[in-house]
């Protein structure tokens, strides 16, 4: 059997990459790349915390959603939202990972303080 070519998954923002085998979940690829994706259910499609976005021109990079993902995500699938624990790498793909809400709050506060709009940090 011919060895399978590694597939490259790029995580944005940041551009971290992982080379993985066909069929590996985006969550596993993220862990390999050192990208933190929050989970509570351990990858069982129960918590919906692992949502990522795949651009429309990148959808061939992941396996089409199965019944569980369709039921859990509904119309969000049309915006390219996928569950990292369920979406399997099918080709080279770029994935958008949402910013952690706590980090986003800290970043906004620091940016406001730098602009002089907020003189108290907390
Ligand atoms: S890890 Fe919980 S839904 Fe994906």
Average pLDDT over residues 34-41: 93
Ligand 1 center to residue 30 CA distance, Å? Answer: 13
pLDDT of residue 107 exceeding 90: no
Give 60-101 pLDDT, tens digit per residue. 999 999 999 999 999 999 999 999 999 999 999 999 999 888
For residue 40, the ligand 1 atom closest to its alpha carbon is: 2
Pocket test for ligand 1, best of 35, 50, 52, 65 (most atoms within 8 A of CB): 50
Indicate whether 24 belongs to any domain.
yes
Q: How far is CA 110 from CA 100, 102, 104, 114, 120, in A?
A: 15, 12, 10, 6, 10
Instruction: Return phi, psi of residue 17, to 5°.
Output: -125, 155
Indicate whether 51 belongs to any domain.
yes
What's the domain count of the chain?
A: 1
For residue 86, the ligand 1 atom closest to its alpha carbon is: 4
Domain span including residue 20: 7-114
CA–CA separation, 54 and 38 (whole Å): 17
Indicate whether 119 belongs to any domain.
no
């Amino acid at each position: 059997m011919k060895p399978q070519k590694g597939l490259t998954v790029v995580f944005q923002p940041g551009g971290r990459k992982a080379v993985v085998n066909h069929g590996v979940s985006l969550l596993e690829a993220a862990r390999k790349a050192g990208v933190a994706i929050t989970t509570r259910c351990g990858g069982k499609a129960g918590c919906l915390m692992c949502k990522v976005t795949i651009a429309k021109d990148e959808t061939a990079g992941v396996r089409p959603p199965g019944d569980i993902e369709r039921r859990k995500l509904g119309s969000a699938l049309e915006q390219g939202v996928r569950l990292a624990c369920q979406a399997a790498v099918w080709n080279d793909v770029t994935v958008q990972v949402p910013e952690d809400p706590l980090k986003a709050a800290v970043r906004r506060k620091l940016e406001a303080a730098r602009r002089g709009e907020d003189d108290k940090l907390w």
